[in-house]
Structure 1
Amino acid sequence: MVDGSLILDNIILRKEIPKSVYLSVKNMTKYPIKILAIETKSDIEEMKFNPSCPRHLAPSNMTRYTLTARSVNEGIIYFPILFTTQFNNNIQHYSTQLVFHTHDEFFDDLHPVEPYVVGYSKAVLKEYIENIDSGERPDIFPQHTNKVPLKPYRLPIDIEVVLNAGLKPFKGISKSQEIQLANIKNLLNSETKQHSLQANNYTKLLDMLLYIEEHQMYKDIRDYDREDQILKRVGGDLLELEVPGLAEHRPSVIFGDSVFVREHKSSKTLYEGFVHKVKESSVLLKFSKKFMNTVFVKGKKFYVNFSFNRYPLRVEHQAVEFAKMDNIAHLLFPKNIANTPPVQSEITWFNRDIMNNLEQQQAVKSVLKRTAMPAPYLIFGPPGTGKTMTVVECVKQIHKLTKLRVLICTPSNNAANEVTKRLVGIPTTDMFRYIAPSFPYNQIPQEIKKYINYKNGSYYGPTIADFQKYRILVTTVVSAAKLVNGGCAKDHFGYIFIDESGQATETETLIPIARILSNNAKPGTFAGQIVLAGDPRQLGPIIHSTLALEYGFGISMLERLIDTSEPYTKNGSNRYNPNALTKLLKNYRSHSVIIKSSNELFYENELQTCGDNLINAALNWEHLPNPKFPLIFHSVVGIDQREKGSPSFFNIQEVQVVMNYLDQLIGCKMQGITIKEEHIGIISPYKKQVEKLRNSCMKKYYSEKLMIGSVEQVQGQERLIIIISTVRSKSDFLKIDDKFHLGFLNNPKRFNVAITRAKALQIVVGNPNILQHDKYWRSLITYCKDNNAMRGKQFDFNTNESL
């Protein structure tokens, strides 16, 4: 222990102020031991440590040593100590390391109070429950009787059991489980795991990957089980449950979800409470009258189980089933698409900027002519190239020039709201934005509220007849299932657009296709043109199961088609077939220095810098090492830490550097622009680092307009200035990142999103000794070194390029 604490990597120093630290050593054995020697590194000038040896320690006894530390610089000091001990005639060596942090009082409260404790993975076990007492569901809106009933699609028990066993034979395995195990292994028997999905195994493999994903989701939700939880009455029959990780979606709980409580862990009666309101760190639940009258007592402690919403999984399974029934798999693996140029007609553009963008014009004209049909048409939109602008122009032209109906879907509500915002001006009689009642009304942009299913203070549920009144319908991919189960008329839609389709799984993408564009009366055909718009080189869908990821479940339909389907590859002239795919090339966002790395690493160096004069705003900024190069790599050798209650990492030294840059930036002038919080964004791959940065900015009273978020939160956004905190400083934690797809290392898509958000200035804060072992980061660091754009601690490249 150090000064009575078990945390040895958190010793705080003040610059140039000596501090005495007491190191306690306790004999935890049942036998006396002798400390023969204590050795340390002799070249650490900041430390004075002269321990006296030998010392005898009886069982359970403790001895104490004093060392004095004095640091003249801010940063980290590592102080390794080696103990040589003797027990009987046996000599043993024990080592530990003290870590000293030098900074001012401002950053003291960022340190962990208690150390992080690693949890253990749990098997998915279906407990024997005698009774479930259900509470009162929130009054969402009247549910219409589905013309096409949605099946439960439950995870089969045999699949669950063999997945619990790690896909290996086990003692007591039943015959049906043996068959299921062989079936799974046969489906997963592929030399090219990432691209194992084919037309001939399409529905079987997708169903299995969905089951594998659901199995992992059950395991993950078990991590949030809690004992000794107190429910507080907050008015009427509502009870409040504190959920500390709610803001981080740990767990994810939304309006209408179920939370189960029981009187003790082994109780066979579950009481189901429904979520009536989600607050920042708690939820309001409504239980049955029986629970309130006979079980609930003020101050009583309960065992709590969280659940997750199975509706998305069910509608994905449904889409796979209808894809099989309608025989459409082969259409999603096209062999050829005609390359004859369509007859072109003059178009009056709604967005006049498209007049100067040949690629956007090509995409719109090809979509209008439905040149790829029945295959999907792809709009490949790298960062800042106007992908959504192109989709919006397509929709406006279809609305003007044809009588065809359009369904626009996105993976998220926010993306759907953004598309709707850009379509404002279309009559409310022609366009409708359907929003599920779990989405908070106060987060809906004011200008689109006239298009949504909300009136008289609450959401309402449209009938299928309501949906079919409109020529343009906007919804999420999951909510598109409302059309399927409502019994959408055959051949109703002439177009299905899926924007940000790179963020949707194959099964999510199927939801607005199967039984909407297809039907079993005309198997093997599509009634309209599918348009997939997105960027397969940026973040894909969020997948929980590493096994499902291994077999390509994290690959979107867009990415699969671009990377593996012949009609979407370049021809001998290094051009794409314009009838199948358009790649947008004009980048309107970033300075050429900022976009260069991404352009070379991900986009074949085809992007063209076309931004306005704002992209030059940071040139000649006084803190740029190279005044003509608006990019900085700031080298920091910090320490990445975790704390009790969260597996996420943070790095206090990087927080310090980021705060220093904010002090330099906010209020300064860049070519006539006074830099304010809304001009700046801060990105980190770890939620805990985001939390620490937000807390530090709140202490400085910075405006909430300062964007601070994870990579997932900032995809699709941009700021004049972006600061990136990479966090990682220990190579021994990188296997955790690799396993759970965290951080930046070995994650090129996350890297690409982070480095393409800035317009005029990008500052990267990180440890080059770690980052250089990833080829993408090494390329960026080399680029900065070659252009004299480095700040912070000096370092040299390691000739060994792999960890």
Structure 2
Amino acid sequence: MAGFLIYLLSSMRHSGKKETIATYVSKSTAGNYACSKVPKAYLRSTTRISTEGVHRFIPQCAKECRNRSHNKERSSRVGTVTSISEEHGVIDDFIYFDVSAVGSFAHGGRPPKVGDQVNVDIERLPDCGWRALSVFITDVDESRQFESLYNSLPQDSHSVCCISQIDDLGITVDQGLTFSSDKVQEGYKPAIGDWIRLDLTATGEVTCLRPLRVKELTGKVASSPRINSNGVETAEGRVNDDVSISVSSCEDGYIPKRGDLVSARVMEIKHNYCIWRALTTRLLSRGSRNSNQKSQTFESGNWVLRGGFPEKAFPRRSTPSFLPKYTVPEKVRRKVEDGDDILAILPSLSEKLSMENYAERFSALLYLEEIHNEIEMRKYGISGARLERRGQYLSLHVPGMADGKPDLSVSDLVVLHTNNRSDIEYHGFIHHLLPESEEILLKFHAEFQENFDSLENYNVEFRHGRVPFRRCHFAARLAQRQGWHGLLFPSESKYHNTGVNSSLASDGEDTYEFFNAKLNARQKQAVCRILAKNESSSPYIIFGPPGTGKTMTLVEVILQLYFSSRSSRILVCAPSNSAVDVICERIARYEKIQSGDMARFNAIRRLENSIPPSIVQYCRSEEEIEVTSRYRIILTTCTNAGAFFGLNLPGDHFTHVCMDEAGQATEPEILIPIGLQTNAQLIFAGDPQQLGPVIMSPLASAYGLSVSLLERVMTMDIYQHSERYPDGYDPTLITKLVNNYRSHCKLIEIPSSLFYRNELVACKETADYSNLKDWAYLPRKGFPLIFHGVAGQHVRERDSPSLMNPAEIVQIVRYVKMLVRDQMIDVSDIGVVTPYRKQVEKIRMLLKGLSTHGVKVGSVEEFQGQEKSVIVVSTVRSQGENNGAENTSSSKLSLGFLSNFRRFNVAITRARDLLIIIGNPNLLKLDHNWNALLQFACKHGGYTGCELK
């Protein structure tokens, strides 16, 4: 019979029946392996096997299935006992435990009680709640002793480094500096590979060496330390396969054995295999000595029936470190360039987005965007250009670079062709940009660099670097491979199975001491709800309409997470450098934040003169990427976060990922930093009613690349507005901020009614320029809105597809000059917003000629997140006198950018004290939103200008 079983197992290994039976058994009633549980089809296919054989075979398959199952979700946490009875208890209102089954309570010397802080390992099976595997009462006094030592010494700043050597001379760190051992924090025994923090005085003197990142955990000993016959430890053991444990770290003479359940205080280390080192280790319960079963040998026929091969109980997950090329397919490029139907070769674009077509669809969209980018860059090619030697570089003059034509960056590719040899390409990379002189400094191959002819004429082609596109491709594929259903397609059932109880999202404002005392009730609620939220794949969203302080709230969240847990490491991202800089500046305002706490990670392509002086001390470059990755607050752009993939970081390296302006990033772009973690808490801050990602390709935009992940997720049922909740949204998933601190109460009425359910509350107490309310040119005194009708005509210049409106330009300059002449406002507090580049160019030129320096003029995109006391909006589009009779349908089509409700929302919500709209009212009234604003202005006496038809 044993021989036949081996034959059966061997045949099923190829047929797949073994796995099917094991899966079937694992889903049956626990412990009941009756023959009737096996599908009859398998019994018919194995008619020679006896019932007794089946009874032996099924338990073996079930056991192997249980041993190999990775469907259980496990984690460790610190919690509080919230209810207790003689037999059962609950931790944090959602973790169940059985008192009689948890022997680790006995180690505490007393039974648990409500309010006890406990360390707990928890497990959740599919479709079930959380259950405690091990629980022990935390020795609060002891755990806080280390924290008090951590904060006992004064320091002016600190630095992050790794110990590379320990000898009689002292402790040497990876920068090559050596420090005396008496600088080590009391109670800490340093080891090679430890990531440490150096506390420094203002003069650079080291005051203390202490662990960088420390946390408490419970786990099972995977391998015990090795001790020779002389009692000397020769090799360290491991806990959970990622924590190194030594005998010297153990308390009360405890010698770890495999299978033991232990509690450990660990610190982060640099190691080939482990990422944590145990500082102290305490035995909770001894493991079973019979856990390792020997293989059974059957004498008849010398057949051997092997058990399941041992696997890691806690498999360590790490981030991928290889970035493929993702070259654009030539057939796709040809289709786009020829203007043919792309659906024939990219059919996923016509399908509804799903987990199955996720990577394929977004790769297709990214290809379309990259191809369009290439086509646009070709327009700026230069014929007959010459190079000049500039030290170690070659210099090339690029006309129009100062105005962003072309928009070049460091590391972009420059391709040269000669008229003599058109088949040879010389590739060089941009190392420096000199916008003032419109020059770029390049480096080519050493042979060309030394022997180029300065009199030779070259044909120049520019190409943007492909790394951002490649990282986006990689992130989309990683998301599909790892099955991020809860993030990409959140649903009611999937979310509520995570064990998060709505009671955890209670306000709890009295529990926390806020760094920013000016936070309002909803901002504090958002912070408390995020701090109470457990690990979940569904992101928490801070829904922040204009001027409601969503970035301020996110900064408070970051500070609370940093100071509430020494084990936290927070990755903070935004789509643009300017948005990241704003967060960095606001965090840096708090005195407790030192240069060693936070790193502003910049891409190699960023120009140094674009970095605000206030954050220079926090800035780190790609040359310092490994050390930068160990800072506990790391700020960078979404695409630049992809640089950390090259470090092969552990999956739990980041505990929290925060996204500001999440609505302005493409979905693949925002997935890049998310891919650096496996179980971190995700926090998004943004507003889907404002501008989304900037997409250059009309095809990519039409097929969905312009829809951000934030916007798409907020269309899901669980994020929708509902009357079931007091604030209108599920408090465990989203907080909507409603207090507007930016604008005059009258200026927020229209956006509030059109986009935010009339929920915005005006909280601006005083005007920046109170004299503006009595300005002589206001159609109605005290009303901060001027709608100035101009029946001009939009035109194009021959060399530009962009539009301009001369009549509106004259009116804009007139208002600016009057404001400056009457000394109503500082020039720097005036902003001019217009959707067309040519209009921006002409306004800038005219204001410069009239010596009106300091007025910011830009597109709607440039003003996203910005604000000015006075905003002048030029709509440009106009029917003009030559258009003849008004045609409603054609006029609607001629609205262009103006018909985009997000552009409208951003444009009219930038002003704090005065908003001036300049445009053709008879055209604008055809759009619902512009018509509402026009009617509002007329109702309150704020309209002036041309006659309304």
TM over 0.5: yes
Distance 1:735 1:693 in 2: 30
Provide structure 2 residue ranges, at least 5 long, that are not aligned to the other structure. Answer: 1-318
Distance 1:490 1:627 in 2: 60
1:239 Cα deviation after fit: 4.1
CA distance change for structure 1 residues 691 and 166 in 2, over 3 Å: closer, same or farther?
Answer: closer
- Map 1:384-403 onto structure 2 (within 5 A): 384-403=547-566
1:260 Cα deviation after fit: 1.2
SS at match of 1:261: strand
Distance 1:681 1:380 in 2: 26
Matched, 1:286 2:448: no
Amino acid at match of 2:410: F
CA distance change for structure 1 residues 326 and 418 in 2, over 3 Å: closer, same or farther?
Answer: same
- What is residue 277 of structure 1 aligned with on the other side? 432
- What is residue 639 of structure 2 aligned with on the other side? 478
Matched, 1:596 2:596: no
Provide structure 1 residue ranges, at least 5 long, that are not aligned to the other structure. Answer: 1-145, 170-180, 191-195, 454-458, 519-526, 797-803
Q: Does the CA-based 8 Å contact 1:585-1:607 persist in structure 2?
A: yes
Q: Does the CA-based 8 Å contact 1:562-1:569 persist in structure 2?
A: no
CA distance change for structure 1 residues 760 and 485 in 2, over 3 Å: closer, same or farther?
Answer: same
Distance 1:451 1:685 in 2: 35
SS at match of 2:476: helix
Bigger mean CA deviation after superposition, 723-732 or 653-662: 723-732
Distance 2:846 2:458 in 1: 35
1:218 Cα deviation after fit: 2.3
- What is residue 349 of structure 1 aligned with on the other side? 514
Matched, 1:366 2:517: no
Distance 1:240 1:152 in 2: 29
- What is residue 91 of structure 2 aligned with on the other side? none
Bigger mean CA deviation after superposition, 156-165 or 398-407: 156-165
Matched, 1:634 2:794: no
Distance 2:596 2:450 in 1: 49
- What is residue 150 of structure 1 aligned with on the other side? 323
CA distance change for structure 1 residues 534 and 752 in 2, over 3 Å: closer, same or farther?
Answer: same
Q: Does the CA-based 8 Å contact 2:394-2:449 persist in structure 1?
A: no
- What is residue 692 of structure 1 aligned with on the other side? 842
Matched, 1:676 2:833: no
SS at match of 2:934: helix
1:714 Cα deviation after fit: 1.3
SS at match of 1:646: coil
- What is residue 652 of structure 1 aligned with on the other side? 806
1:266 Cα deviation after fit: 8.2
SS at match of 1:321: helix
Q: Does the CA-based 8 Å contact 1:682-1:709 persist in structure 2?
A: yes
- What is residue 235 of structure 1 aligned with on the other side? 390
- What is residue 654 of structure 2 aligned with on the other side? 493
- Map 1:163-312 onto structure 2 (within 5 A): 163-164=336-337, 166-168=339-341, 182=344, 184-185=346-347, 187-190=348-351, 196-227=352-383, 229-233=384-388, 235-236=390-391, 238-264=393-419, 267-280=422-435, 281-288=438-445, 290-291=447-448, 296-298=453-455, 300-312=456-468
Query: Cα deviation per residue 1:144-184 (whole Å; 9 max; x = unaligned)?
Result: xx981211111122333444454549xxxxxxxxxxx6562
Instruction: Report the structure, 1 or 2, having the larger helix content.
Output: 2
Matched, 1:319 2:441: no
- What is residue 585 of structure 1 aligned with on the other side? 738
CA distance change for structure 1 residues 753 and 444 in 2, over 3 Å: closer, same or farther?
Answer: same
1:499 Cα deviation after fit: 0.5
1:375 Cα deviation after fit: 0.6
Q: Does the CA-based 8 Å contact 1:686-1:743 persist in structure 2?
A: no
Matched, 1:469 2:630: yes
CA distance change for structure 1 residues 644 and 275 in 2, over 3 Å: closer, same or farther?
Answer: farther
Distance 2:765 2:514 in 1: 21
- What is residue 440 of structure 1 aligned with on the other side? 607
CA distance change for structure 1 residues 685 and 265 in 2, over 3 Å: closer, same or farther?
Answer: farther
TM-score (norm 2): 0.61
Q: Does the CA-based 8 Å contact 2:879-2:891 persist in structure 1?
A: no
CA distance change for structure 1 residues 406 and 545 in 2, over 3 Å: closer, same or farther?
Answer: same
Distance 1:434 1:428 in 2: 13
Distance 1:468 1:447 in 2: 22
SS at match of 1:252: coil
CA distance change for structure 1 residues 702 and 612 in 2, over 3 Å: closer, same or farther?
Answer: same
Q: Does the CA-based 8 Å contact 2:434-2:440 persist in structure 1?
A: yes
Distance 2:697 2:670 in 1: 19
Q: Does the CA-based 8 Å contact 1:594-1:631 persist in structure 2?
A: yes
SS at match of 2:786: strand
Amino acid at match of 1:449: V
Q: Does the CA-based 8 Å contact 2:877-2:895 persist in structure 1?
A: no
SS at match of 1:480: helix
Q: Does the CA-based 8 Å contact 1:332-1:376 persist in structure 2?
A: no
1:506 Cα deviation after fit: 0.5
Amino acid at match of 2:662: S
Amino acid at match of 2:557: C
1:295 Cα deviation after fit: 5.1
Query: Cα deviation per residue 1:297-331 (whole Å; 9 max; x = unaligned)?
Result: 43x43322111111100011111122122221343
Distance 2:645 2:895 in 1: 36
Identify which of structures 1 and 2 has the higher relative contact order when contacts are C-alpha pairs closer than 8 Å and 6+ apart.
1
C-alpha RMSD of matched pairs (Å): 2.7
Distance 1:258 1:654 in 2: 40
1:234 Cα deviation after fit: 5.8
1:274 Cα deviation after fit: 2.1
- What is residue 624 of structure 1 aligned with on the other side? 778
- Map 1:388-537 onto structure 2 (within 5 A): 388-403=551-566, 404-424=568-588, 425=591, 426-453=593-620, 459=621, 461-464=623-626, 466-514=627-675, 516-518=676-678, 527-537=679-689
Matched, 1:380 2:543: yes
- What is residue 539 of structure 1 aligned with on the other side? 691
1:681 Cα deviation after fit: 1.0
SS at match of 1:619: helix
| Residue of structure 2 aligned with 1:610, choices 763, 769, 773 | 763
Distance 1:636 1:374 in 2: 52
Q: Does the CA-based 8 Å contact 1:406-1:494 persist in structure 2?
A: yes
1:686 Cα deviation after fit: 1.4
SS at match of 1:722: strand
Distance 1:615 1:596 in 2: 19
1:385 Cα deviation after fit: 0.4
Q: Does the CA-based 8 Å contact 1:685-1:743 persist in structure 2?
A: no
Distance 2:535 2:755 in 1: 25
TM-score (norm 1): 0.72
SS at match of 2:877: coil
CA distance change for structure 1 residues 206 and 168 in 2, over 3 Å: closer, same or farther?
Answer: closer
Q: Does the CA-based 8 Å contact 1:589-1:611 persist in structure 2?
A: yes
CA distance change for structure 1 residues 412 and 598 in 2, over 3 Å: closer, same or farther?
Answer: same
- State the number of aligned residues: 609
| Residue of structure 1 aligned with 2:708, choices 549, 552, 556 | 556
1:376 Cα deviation after fit: 0.6
Q: Does the CA-based 8 Å contact 1:238-1:284 persist in structure 2?
A: yes
Larger Rg: 2
Matched, 1:333 2:506: no
1:264 Cα deviation after fit: 3.3
Amino acid at match of 2:677: L
Query: Cα deviation per residue 1:172-207 (whole Å; 9 max; x = unaligned)?
Result: xxxxxxxxx65622x1234xxxxx323343222122
Amino acid at match of 2:651: K
Matched, 1:717 2:866: yes
1:743 Cα deviation after fit: 5.7
1:572 Cα deviation after fit: 4.1
Q: Does the CA-based 8 Å contact 1:737-1:743 persist in structure 2?
A: no
Query: Cα deviation per residue 1:668-715 (whole Å; 9 max; x = unaligned)?
Result: 35xxxx5110121111111221121111111121233x2211111111
